[in-house]
Structures are given as structure tokens and as C-alpha cells.
Amino acid sequence: MSRRWKIAIIVLFLIPLLAYLAVAGMIYRMLGRQYASGFVKGTLFGLQARPLTSANFKRTQARLNRGEHLTSVARCFSCHSDTDPQTDLPVPGRMGAGTIRQLAVRMVYPNITPDADTGAGTWTDDMTARAIREGIGHDGRALVPIMPYQSFRYLSDEDVASIVVYLRSIPPVRNPLPKMQYPFPFNLVAKGFPNPLRGPVPPPDSSDPIKLGEYLTRIGSCADCHSATDMHGHPLPYAGGQMISDKGEKKVAASNITPDPSGISYYDEALFIRTMRAGHVGARELAAAMPWRYFRNFTDDDLKAIFSYLRTLRPVKHRVDNNEPPSYCKICGQWHGGGELN
């Protein structure tokens, strides 16, 4: 083979490789390491999904009660409903009926009521359970990772059964919606996130408040907002700084909720419970993006367990204060209130 042909083959190989690396780099800069990793996994390995089973969850009053409680604190209807812009609570008569929201792309949150034509009425129990915990839709496609199935994968088998039983009991609402379409490269990013469950998921040890609290913070997806990354892409668990849209208003930074003095070291159990119930820390109102109107439905014992778990977190020094004007933070690289103090 001539030298010219060898060069041509190398160039033809390098062009798509460089284009691929450029897209991965763009995703990394825009969305961070986790989404860039999802793009690589989705491209190289495709969608990972387990086969559906014939599981059928028996309807009991205990499951109905538990499922209603869990869908509330997990904020299922905050996404899958048209909501009041002030409270983020579902509009009456539209609970679970799905909606469309314009974020970076148009997001279609499906109708999960038991309507047979436009909702989840024809989905099997395992289709719904797999979607909730593993991110695979009833039709076998990858769900957008904005659906917190990576947190919900820790739901015990009994708890996910309770959620499915409850969702089947809510009033069906006819609400035809278009199918969610993923533009490139987000279609490949989405394929890289689902991770099949290979075995049973037991319930948490309810006799251990710390283990129970960890379980409940996962159901509440607390880390999704309250964790960020530092300038080098390393995680800052529960140390705040992630910028979140405050219900159509300016963006706010999630608070540091580690037991560091820059976090919530001054909280005691009673203050934590009052804050979750009322949406205030003393006279200061929490940002509208904080879903305390859902978290207030945790029981006192649940909130005590969550607080016990938060006290075990590694303290991280990271000053975040939305009452201060935004300034550059050398720790997380964001512009947020109190940033210059870090």
C-alpha cells in the first residue's frame, strides 16, 4: 500500500474520532463529567436493560397508603403534572396527567395516570417499576436522566410495589402528549445512564436512624440539587453551589447542608423539622426551588432520621448565601452568593 493511501486511511479514521472527542468535550464542559460519561457509555455499549417479568403487585390498603406517601415525598407529581407556579403543587384534576416544559430542550413528562389511551393504563406492573428504578420506559427506550431513577433505584422492592399500586388507583386523566424526542447527542447520553437491577432490593434497617435517613434522602433526591463539583470535577457531596432555576425567576444556588460551619452546623433537630415543615429558617424564607411543600409530608421520625444522616456527612467548607450578590467562587467555579468568601 502506498504512503498516500496510508495517510488517507489515517485521516479518515482520525476525523470521526476527533469529532467524537469534540462532542464528548462539549458535553463535559456544558453538563459535567457524569453526562460526558453517559455519552461515552451510550455510544460504546448502547442501552443496557433487563428483560421484563410478569410481576403483579397485589393491591392492599397498606400498599396504597405507603405508595401515596412515597409519591408525595418523592415529588412524582411535581414533574408529571401541570403545577401551580407559586406552590409547585399539582393543579386540581391534573395530578399525574403529564405535561410539557421547555428547558434546554422540550421536555415531555408522560401521563402516568391509569388512562388506557393516553396514560399508563396498559403498562404492566414491571414496566412501571423498571421505569421508576432503572430508567427504561414501557416501550424500551432510555428515559431522560432528569427523571431521578438513579436515586429511585434504591427504593426497596416493597416500596416500588407500593408506588405502582398507588399510581394505578389515582383517577385516570385523558391527556394526549407527544413522545419525547432526544436530539443528538442527548439520545446517546440518555442511553448511557440506565443500570439494570440484577437482584432484589431489601428495605432499609428502620431500627438504624442513619441508614433510614440515607435511604430517605435518596428517595427525596436531595443530592441531585445540594451536591456540586469543584473546579477539577471532583464531587462536593451535599456542599451546595449547584445553580437551580427558582421557578421561572433568577437562578439560586443550592445550600451547603453538610455539618461544616459554612453549612448547617448551627441546626438542631427541632430547627431542621421546623424548616422542612414551614419553608423558613427563622424569618428567612427558603428559595421557591426548595420543594419543602412535598418534604413537609415526611413524618417526624423520617425527618429525624434524615437529620441524623446529614450529621454524619463529611463537613465541606463552601460558603453559599443567596442573600448575598453573586460573585465568583474558587471552589466550585460558579457565580453564586457568597462566592468571593471561599
Say which DSSP state 284 is in: E
CA distance 291 to 298: 12
- Residue 124 C-alpha cell reads as 404492566
Report the interhelical angle of 300-310 vs 269-278 (nearest 10°). Answer: 120
- Residue 283 C-alpha cell reads as 424569618
| pLDDT value for 125 | 97
Say which DSSP state 32 is in: -
Report the interhelical angle of 157-167 vs 125-134 (nearest 10°). Answer: 120
Closest Cα partner for 246 from 290, 209, 208?
Answer: 290
The torsion angle over the Cα atoms of residues 167, 170, 174 and 180, rounded to 10 degrees, is: -20
Cross-strand partners of 328: 335
In this prediction, the residues of the chain whose per-residue pLDDT falls under 70 are: 1-27, 30-32, 38-39, 104, 246-250
pLDDT digits (tens, 9 = 90+) for 90-135: 999 999 999 998 776 788 999 999 999 999 999 999 999 999 999 9
CA distance 46 to 58: 34
Q: Is 125 exposed, middle or buried (0-12, 13-18, 19+ CB in 10 A)?
A: buried
| pLDDT value for 5 | 60
| pLDDT value for 8 | 59
